[in-house]
């Protein structure tokens, strides 16, 4: 009857008996079923295969028997599947079509003896494949090692034989191939693979001797600790130094992650993402947290074990927390208020006892008395220095008048065109050096023709992104001034917020809100480790479209972005889109609304051909770029690749009489090929309308409404039993979006339509 429940976290207990089949039904929206580490017996109920929203399944570490239900490959939203360490029999489960699977562990079961199953090379999202002791035989298909996201393959203790060919097109993320205790007699092209290969206890090692590196098992140790650059500054007593170089008594505990979607545990990037996600959540809930620190000691673990991450949470403004602070932090972590990054999956938290609370009023009374006496003496000193302070202040104001950073950005040769900003702060270069630890390499998060981007942290704990232009950058004073002025007056949830800037000693630095998950380009290319399925891509398209529609419809004057591309769409912690980089954007006065003659600027491949040839810029130029972006979203291809233009390629290949318009070869496998991509044809139709001649293109407001309709269609397909379309989508993907009325209107700053 728990049809609205999303989590069954019942692992690591002493549950026994059979799993009752009646607890699962097709009406459920469960995303996590964790029953691992219990004493369950009997078979896996086939009703579990009816819960199509399921993303994580763990039933490992029990005594389950019988075959895996044949309907399991209906679970096309499944990301992680752990069936290991049971007594399962029958054929190896058929995972064909489960294209979102990233982590599969079905080790130590007694399946029927079989060759490598045909689904091995088809799971395009796979990072980890573990099938130890599952009676596999024959040769391993070389195509398995070419899966784009593959990190780990463990197939030891089987009867795999013949020649091992890893091939020359294997994934560069592939860090471990463990084939111990098999019957492999030959290795092809071993020089093409430079990571860890283990062939101990195979005939090849008996013939070549144990001197080969792949014939011995090496155990590498790895540890991670949050970066500190504080220098020699020991803390008094038993206080601990925080990442922000403050001594305090942190609240400590352990986070246990039970279903990671990655297995490269030595990659520091994952833990940095987790730290940033924690800090974002603490700030969002307005908790008194200055910084967090993570520690892992040799986390290379058996897949059946949970990843244990030691957490230290440091207080803000004090050396210790009060009871309310500890309670709030513990509640947020223990009651799943904190949503860990998607790649970490479900977790639980166990906090340590905290004994260093801020002192109570009673115990502090003696200090209050002493403070009153000392305060009286200090007050006299303050009064004497007051007059002098006022004098210094007046002198300082005169100096500031002559060194005003805003005046330095006066770009008008005829005077009068000062920088117009509101709500944007001027930062000193010294401040930004402090926030970025002197622009350290460790804090560098991106680079381009303009310069570099660094991650920083304000004294409040808020994370910021700092874009520092190169001295030789093409971005001159005008672009720098334009971005500051435009972003200081546009505010929308789908536009990146500008917090401030620095213009000092020839430096041009912009300070933005930090957007956790980087650019859309990184996600589509696989660099960020984030997998975007069809619904998430629709959500990204909707967010970017809303941001653009706001610029065109609601900004005063309207703004043309001029450089819409995947590198300028950033994704926050919930994978919502934010449009960024307004350096070449163009505000339009009322008399320029029809067209603007201007110097051509933009990025080839995304640029409107009519604008390129005629130098006439309109909002429809942004619409064209957005159409190219839509095609990039579904193909994960660059607009121009190997001399081929994505718009022309799609136009030539499209056949509306065939399934998915005959575009299968162009679609990104990670989008969920093999699942029902409801609405994809309408999405392609809209994209192609956006790249027609300017007069035939829709407005961005119309684009927003059409993507909304497509999302409703796709959402209904995900959960036909839902009573509300928007609720269905919210339950399935944990995202939210608001609906636009059909009547004509404009966007307000929160992304909601208002009547004209």
Q: Is the distance from CB of 217 to CB of 200 less than 8 angstroms?
A: yes
**Is 367 exposed, middle or buried (CB count within 10 Å of its CB: 0-12, 13-18, 19+)?**
exposed
End-to-end CA distance of the chain: 46
The full DSSP string for 204-260 is HHHHH-TTSGGGS------EEE------S-PPSTT-EE-TTS-EE--EEEEEEE---
Residue 545 near residue 704 (C-beta atoms within 8 A)? yes
Which of 212, 194, 192 is closest to 202 using CA atoms? 212
A 10 A CB-CB count for 474 gives 10
The candidate with the shortest Cα–Cα distance to 176, out of 197, 162, 145, 160, is 197
Name the nearest CA neighbour of 583 among 520, 510, 521, 513.
Answer: 510
- Output the CA torsion sign for 48, 49, 54, 56: positive
As a whole number of angstroms, the distance between CA 515 and CA 465 comes to: 8
Three-class SS state of 595: coil
Q: What are phi and psi of 159, to 5 degrees?
A: -120, 35
- Burial of residue 658 (number of CB atoms within 10 Å: 0-12, 13-18, 19+): exposed
Q: How far is CA 383 from the centre of its chain?
A: 54
Q: Give Cβ neighbours of residue 708 (< 8 Å, ≥ 6 apart).
A: 542, 737, 739, 740
Distance separating alpha carbons of residues 204 and 328, to the nearest angstrom: 58
Q: Is 709 helix (H, G, I), strand (E, B) or coil?
A: helix
CA distances from 172 to 127, 149, 270, 554, 589 (A): 12, 9, 17, 46, 50
The conformation of residue 675, written as its DSSP 8-state character, comes to B
Q: E strands, 83-191, where? A: 87-88, 103-105, 114-115, 128-130, 136-138, 152-154, 159-165, 176-178, 183-188
Angle between helices 619-635 and 680-690 (to 10 degrees): 140
- The C-alpha atoms of residue 56 and residue 88 are separated, in whole angstroms, by 19
Q: Nearest to residue 110, comparing CAs of 81, 95, 82, 90?
A: 90
- The packing angle between helices 725-733 and 534-553, to 10°, is 120
Active site residue 608: no
Exactly one of 60, 290, 533, 563 is catalytic; name it: 563
- Is 493 annotated in a binding site? The answer is no
> CA Rg, the chain, in Å?
29
**Which residues lie below 8 Å from residue 167, measured CB to CB, with a gap of 6+?**
142, 143, 145, 146, 189, 192
CA atoms within 13 A on the CB side of 15: 20
Could you tell me how many residues make up the chain?
Answer: 756
Query: Cβ distance 467 to 540 under 8 Å?
Result: no
What are the b/e assignments for 265-300, b being 16+ CB within 10 Å?
bbbeebbbbbbbbbbbbbeeeebbbbbbbbbbeebe
Q: How far is Cα of residue 283 from the mean position of the Cα atoms in its chain?
A: 18
Q: Who contacts 273 (Cβ-Cβ below 8 Å, separation ≥6)?
A: 341, 343, 516, 517
Q: At what angle do helices 534-553 and 680-690 cross, to 10 degrees?
A: 30
Q: Closest Cα to residue 238, out of 253, 228, 250?
A: 250
Give the residue ranges of the annotated binding site: 467
Give the residue ranges of the annotated binding site for ATP: 467
Catalytic residue annotation: 563
């Amino acid at each position: 009857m728990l049809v609205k429940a999303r989590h069954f976290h019942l692992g690591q207990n002493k549950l026994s008996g059979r799993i009752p089949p009646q607890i699962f039904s097709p009406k459920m929206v469960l995303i996590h079923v964790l029953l691992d580490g219990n004493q369950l017996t009997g078979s896996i109920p086939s009703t579990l295969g009816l819960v199509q929203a399921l993303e994580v399944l763990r039933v490992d570490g029990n005594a389950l028997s019988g075959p895996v239900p044949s309907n399991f490959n209906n679970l096309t939203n499944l990301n992680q599947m752990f069936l290991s360490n049971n007594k399962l029999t029958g054929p190896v489960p058929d995972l064909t079509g489960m294209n979102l699977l990233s982590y599969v562990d079905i080790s130590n079961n007694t399946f029927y003896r079989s060759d490598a199953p045909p689904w091995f090379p088809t799971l395009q999202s796979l990072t980890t494949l573990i099938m130890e002791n599952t009676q596999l035989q024959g040769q391993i298909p070389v195509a398995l090692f070419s899966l784009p996201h593959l990190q780990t393959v463990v197939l030891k203790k089987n009867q795999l034989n013949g020649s091992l060919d890893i091939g020359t097109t294997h994934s560069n993320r592939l860090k471990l191939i463990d084939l111990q205790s098999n019957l492999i007699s030959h290795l092809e092209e071993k020089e093409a693979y430079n990571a860890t290969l283990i062939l101990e206890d195979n005939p090849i090692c008996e013939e070549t001797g144990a001197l080969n590196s792949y014939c011995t098992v090496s155990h590498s140790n790895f540890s991670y600790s949050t970066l500190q650059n504080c220098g020699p500054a020991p803390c008094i007593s038993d206080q601990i130094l925080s990442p922000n170089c403050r001594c305090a008594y942190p609240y400590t505990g352990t986070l246990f992650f039970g279903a990671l979607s990655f297995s490269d545990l030595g990659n520091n990037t994952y833990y940095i993402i987790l730290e940033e996600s924690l800090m974002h959540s603490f700030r969002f809930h307005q908790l008194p947290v200055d910084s967090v620190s993570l520690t892992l000691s040799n986390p290379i673990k058996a897949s059946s074990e949970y990843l244990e991450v030691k957490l230290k949470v440091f207080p803000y403004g004090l050396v210790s927390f009060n009871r309310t602070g500890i309670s709030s932090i513990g509640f947020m972590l223990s009651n799943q208020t904190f949503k860990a990054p998607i790649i970490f999956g479900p977790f639980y938290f166990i906090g340590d006892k905290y004994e260093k609370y801020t002192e109570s009023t009673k115990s502090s009374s003696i200090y209050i008395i002493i403070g009153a006496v000392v305060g009286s003496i200090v007050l006299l000193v303050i009064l004497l220095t007051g007059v002098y302070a006022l004098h210094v202040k007046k002198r300082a104001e005169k100096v500031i008048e002559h060194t005003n950073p805003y005046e330095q950005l006066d770009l008008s040769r005829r005077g009068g065109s000062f920088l117009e900003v509101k709500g944007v702060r001027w930062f000193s270069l010294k401040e930004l050096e402090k926030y970025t630890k002197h622009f350290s390499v460790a804090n560098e998060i991106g680079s381009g023709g303009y310069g570099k981007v660094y991650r920083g942290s304000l004294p409040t704990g808020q994370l910021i992104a700092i874009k520092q232009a190169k001295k030789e950058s093409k971005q001159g004073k005008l672009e720098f001034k334009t971005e500051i002025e435009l972003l200081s007056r546009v505010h929308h949830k789908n536009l990146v917020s500008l917090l401030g800037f620095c213009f000092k000693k020839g430096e041009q630095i912009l300070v933005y809100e930090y957007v956790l998950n980087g650019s859309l380009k990184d996600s589509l290319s696989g660099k960020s480790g984030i997998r975007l399925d069809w619904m998430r891509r629709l959500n990204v398209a909707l967010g970017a479209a809303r941001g653009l529609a706001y610029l065109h419809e609601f900004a005063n004057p309207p703004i043309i972005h001029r450089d819409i591309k995947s590198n300028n769409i950033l994704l926050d912690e919930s994978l919502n889109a934010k449009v960024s980089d307004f350096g070449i954007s163009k505000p339009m006065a009322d008399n320029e609304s029809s067209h603007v003659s201007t110097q051509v600027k933009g990025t080839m491949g995304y640029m409107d051909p009519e604008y390129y040839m005629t130098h006439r810029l309109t909002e429809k130029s942004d619409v064209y770029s957005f159409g190219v972006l839509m095609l990039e979203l579904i193909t994960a291809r660059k607009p121009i690749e190997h001399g081929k233009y994505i718009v022309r390629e799609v136009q030539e290949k499209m056949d509306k009489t065939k399934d998915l318009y005959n575009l299968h070869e162009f679609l990104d496998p990670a989008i969920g090929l093999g699942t029902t991509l409801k609405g994809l044809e309408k999405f392609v139709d809209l994209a192609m309308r956006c790249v027609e001649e300017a007069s035939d293109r829709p407005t961005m407001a119309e684009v927003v409404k059409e993507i909304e309709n497509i999302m409703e269609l796709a959402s209904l397909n995900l959960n036909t039993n839902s009573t509300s379309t928007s609720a269905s989508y919210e339950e399935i993907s944990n995202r939210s979006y608001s609906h636009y009325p059909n009547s004509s209107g404009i966007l307000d700053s929160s992304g909601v339509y208002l009547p004209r």
